[in-house]
Chain A
Amino acid sequence: MFRYLLKRILIFIPTLLVISLIAFGISKLTPGDPVTSCGNLGGQDKTYLNDYFAAELAYNQRAQSLGLDKPSFYFSFTSRAYPDTLYKVLNHPKRAAIAKLISRYGNWPQIDHYFKAIDALEIASYQIPQSEVKNAKIEIRKALSQLKINYNDKRVNYEMKALQKVFEKDSLVQKYVGQESKALFLAYDQMRNQSSTSKLFQPKFHWYGFDNQYHIWFTKFITGDFGYSCQDGRPVKERIKRAIGWTLIMNIFALILAFSIAIPLGVFSAQKRGSRFDKWTGLILFVLYSLPGFWVATLLVIFFTTPEYGMHWFPSIGLGDTSTDIPFWSRFWDRASHLFLPIICLSYGSLAFIARQMRGGVLNVIQQDYIRTARAKGQSEEIVLWKHAFRNSLFPIITLIALVFPATISGSVVIEYIFNIPGMGRETIAAIYAKDWPIVFTILLLTTGLTMIGTLIADILYAWADPRVNFKK
């Protein structure tokens, strides 16, 4: 038993690792710039508009504080065309543009040269006196900022032409940035003409070590530091701590309700197999099983929580406001009245499933030899059923917890959204609408962990309850 437990826990760890890798991989695929999409840089952008260097500095600081200045993983396996230090380019769109250019031309030195030429021109353009050619300065900078993040020929040519036009129009500009602009055009031509695509086909393995984004993210995650929410900058942990309580309360009550109704129902309908009671419960359970939870929830919300149809029996959705100075019991009843419908919605699906399984289990056990023996012994039907059949058919039901638990957790995503319960599910949906990825991935990993723990508990219960189960294998 102990060895089995140890083995299960040992499996638990690689599973969590793989899932963390999947989550991290997906998080790297999220669209948009992680620096500007997460955080309040957007608001400050305007003040930095006139001061390019200050804006860049702020951007880089933000990127550093998010840990984006580190390589993303322990190692990389790419072609030799890509430099090891590409991650040091902090600007996300710029890095994407560089990577695209490398994938096309394969000549990092020339590309590097080209981007340096852009920077040089930018710095030089600052020396143009404000008073003389104000428009030219703005146009040059506009074109350059586009050149930095674009890789597509058409767009780059367009911006290059725009630059050339500015230079042709104003001889004064030539005086200040003539050299740099020539260098830029030259660098661009060099990059295009001296491509070395053969380098793309040479594999290269590079080891970055433990100071990488994944390692830091995962070690922090294990120690309970989930990062910060993009919506309000508060720690994810704080937000989830409140939410997980509601989800767990709802799910546990729903499971208790489901099991406590389903088990007797299954036993009775197995006992009266073929009777009218059995047929009707079978049909009703089947219908319940097929009823989509979000539809039932929507119907309940519409009919029972609004005064529209004269059946306003439950308070409107949400948890309501209860201040802490009301006595405990009235607060309890208030909460219960809010949670009643969602718990019903969560539980009826599993209820139908468990009852059907229970009926099958009892029917299976009744055919066993020891039941026949018990009957032959002259035991009353009640004792046969409850003492012999019931107990033995209960074992497989325990493993159902492992099946039902993840389903209710998943189900509570939609139910919480519909009933506006501030649990993990609603938090997930809200975070997805707000593109608040740190919360989304934390919840993904946490629910996975919860599911695994649920499975583990079910396994242990099964082993503890049924001595026939052999775990030595």
Chain B
Amino acid sequence: MLFFNKNKRRKAEVALSKGGVDSISYWAIVKKQFQKNTLAKWALRVLMLLVFIAVFGDFLANDKPIYCKINQQSHFPVFKSYAVDMGLAKWPAELVNVDWKDLEYEQKILPLIPYSPTDLDLRNAHFKSPFDKQNVKGMRYWHWLGTDELGRDVGSGLIHGTRVALLVGILAMGVAVLIGLFFGVLAGFFGDNGFKVSRIRLLLNLIGLPLSWLLAFSARKYQIMETGNFGIEIIKSIFFFSLILFGINLIARLVERFSFFKKRVSIPLDLGIMRFIEMLNSIPGLLILIVVLAILEQTSLVYLMVIIGFISWTGIARFIRAELLRIRSLEYVEAAQALGYPRLRIIFKHAIPNALPPVLITIAFGIAAAILAEATLSFLGIGIPLEKVTWGSLLTEARKNASAWWLALFPGIAIFVTVTVFNLIGDGLTEALDPKMREQ
């Protein structure tokens, strides 16, 4: 009997996954619709170019040659520098701390722009325009987009800034998606009446959360902060934290046998989370970003990404909530519930995959906003390591000298293009995913 049951269930499952919404053809439709939109199609191509520049930035703009031959010996300095950075190799003695531009080469292949973004070309310092007379060895070394006050090449800065911008945009949104998904699913799938726990479990968890925080994190503050192995200790703490919570829920399960404690209370998750989102939305985003970053004593791109992620998840959570409110009353979810699947499985296997497509739109717009936020912050010089060359930091240089139009123009164009690309993709997705548009 049991076996039969299982078999039946598996069959139903296969049918469910096949018949859900023809998943392959759905994406095919979306893709087709997206391709129809010429602007969006081109935006996607430009995005690919930007990603290419971001990934291969070191080969496009670098003070080291890609390939060179010195004293009959072949070198691949750009590759080598990767290995050295990872600690896998060491520079040969004659190449330690050399000025790559002054070396005598027998053969060489230079990158497109033979300058690294932090390279100070002192002969061309103090704002050399692309059309000025530049003091360079040859046209190959021309600063095509000019230099800034310290003689850094603007073109090289733009190429390396691409990596920073895309990294911040995409990773910040990654953080936002994780948080937004969590809250959105809680609010949307469970609603105000869907999440029911027994009295005792609620009570024990309310007590247990601060308690396990105290035992796992506060009490181990010394081990975490002062012993020098932050990573391992924090993982240990998280493990203890979950262990205690698990134990508490185990106890709750035992006590649940008494009928008084067994009575279930529903937690209005939707109401609570929506209020919370409303609250967060009334804090001006850029302002809180600036304040939090100013407080941190160290500046790092990681902090920037995480904080942008933490303030921009509300849109995603709202979208997912709205989608799940719709989905949870659809037949296939009801069918899955009728088959007796555990709730987590329904959420992860059936509800979330179908709620995700509209979220892509928010992600695209969100990346644009995050890139804009990063550029604004580096423009203001808050929260970004000073030595990092970014589009915003290049744009700030323009404020020092009004005649340096190239410093105002090129970084701005880079920011504008990237932001527009993501906005166009977002627009394209909106149209492609809209069923009303599809029928036409």
Which residues of A are in contact with B by a Cβ distance under 8 Å? 11, 15, 18-19, 22, 26, 29-31, 77-79, 100, 103-104, 152, 200-201, 203, 286-287, 289-292, 294-295, 298-299, 301-303, 306, 308-309, 406, 409-411, 413-414, 417-418, 428-429, 432, 435, 440-441, 443-444, 447-448, 451-452, 455
Contacts and interface: CB of A to CB of B under 8 A. Distances in A.
Interface stretch (B144-152, B261-269, B280-288, B327-335): B280-288
A152 B226 contact: yes
A295 B416 contact: yes
Nearest to A31: B297
A413 B226 contact: no
Contacts of B279: 15, 18-19
B125 to A, nearest CB: 20
Contacts of B368: 290
A104 B292 CA distance: 29
B222 interface: yes
B282 A452 contact: yes
B218 A30 contact: no
A298 B295 contact: no
A100 B223 CA distance: 11
Contacts of B134: none
Contacts of A26: 291-292, 295
B287 A413 contact: yes
Contacts of B226: 100, 103-104, 152
6 contacts: A26-B291, A77-B214, A201-B219, A286-B423, A292-B416, A455-B282
Contacts of B416: 290-292, 295
Contacts of B215: 201, 203
Nearest to B276: A18
B260 to A, nearest CB: 26
A76 to B, nearest CB: 11
A447 B380 contact: no
| Closest 5 A/B residue pairs (Cβ) | A295-B412, A410-B286, A306-B402, A290-B420, A200-B219
Nearest to A99: B221
B412 A292 contact: yes
A29 B287 CA distance: 17
Given A15-B278, A79-B219, A410-B284, A292 B372 contact: yes
B398 A298 contact: yes
Interface residues of B, number: 51
A295 B287 contact: no
Nearest to A152: B226
A309 B401 CA distance: 13
Contacts of A309: 405
A410 B312 CA distance: 14
B423 A451 contact: no
Given A152-B226, A428-B290, A444-B288, A406 B219 contact: no
A216 to B, nearest CB: 22
A301 B281 CA distance: 32
A31 B294 CA distance: 10
Given A290-B420, A292-B376, A295-B415, 10 more contacts: A26-B291, A287-B420, A294-B375, A298-B395, A298-B399, A302-B398, A414-B379, A428-B287, A440-B294, A441-B291
Interface string B94-136: 0000000000000000000000000000000000000000000
A103 B222 contact: yes
Contacts of A79: 214, 218-219
A15 B287 contact: no
Nearest to B210: A77
Contacts of A286: 420, 423-424, 427
Interface in B286-306: 286-288, 290-292, 294-295, 297
A267 B138 CA distance: 57
B211 interface: yes
A103 B221 contact: yes
Nearest to B415: A292
B219 A294 contact: no
A60 B198 CA distance: 52
Contact of A417 (B214, B282, B283, B380): B380
B46 interface: no
A77 B290 CA distance: 30
Given A201-B215, A413-B290, A294 B419 contact: no
Contact of A447 (B214, B218, B287): B287
B245 interface: no
B352 interface: no
Contacts of A303: 405
B418 to A, nearest CB: 9
Contacts of A289: 423
B382 interface: yes
A18 B277 CA distance: 12
Contacts of B278: 11, 15
A203 to B, nearest CB: 5
B275 to A, nearest CB: 7
Contact of B380 (A77, A201, A429): A429
A302 B287 contact: no
A301 B287 CA distance: 23
B403 interface: yes
Interface in B371-405: 372, 375-376, 379-380, 382, 395, 398-399, 402-403, 405
A203 B221 CA distance: 14
A292 B375 contact: yes
Task: Please indicate which of the listed interface residues A19, A100, A290, A411 has the most CB atoms of chain B within 10 Å of its own CB.
Answer: A290
Nearest to B379: A294
Task: Please indicate which of the listed interface residues B282, B372, B412 has the most CB atoms of chain A within 10 Å of its own CB.
Answer: B282
Contacts of B336: none
A31 B427 CA distance: 43
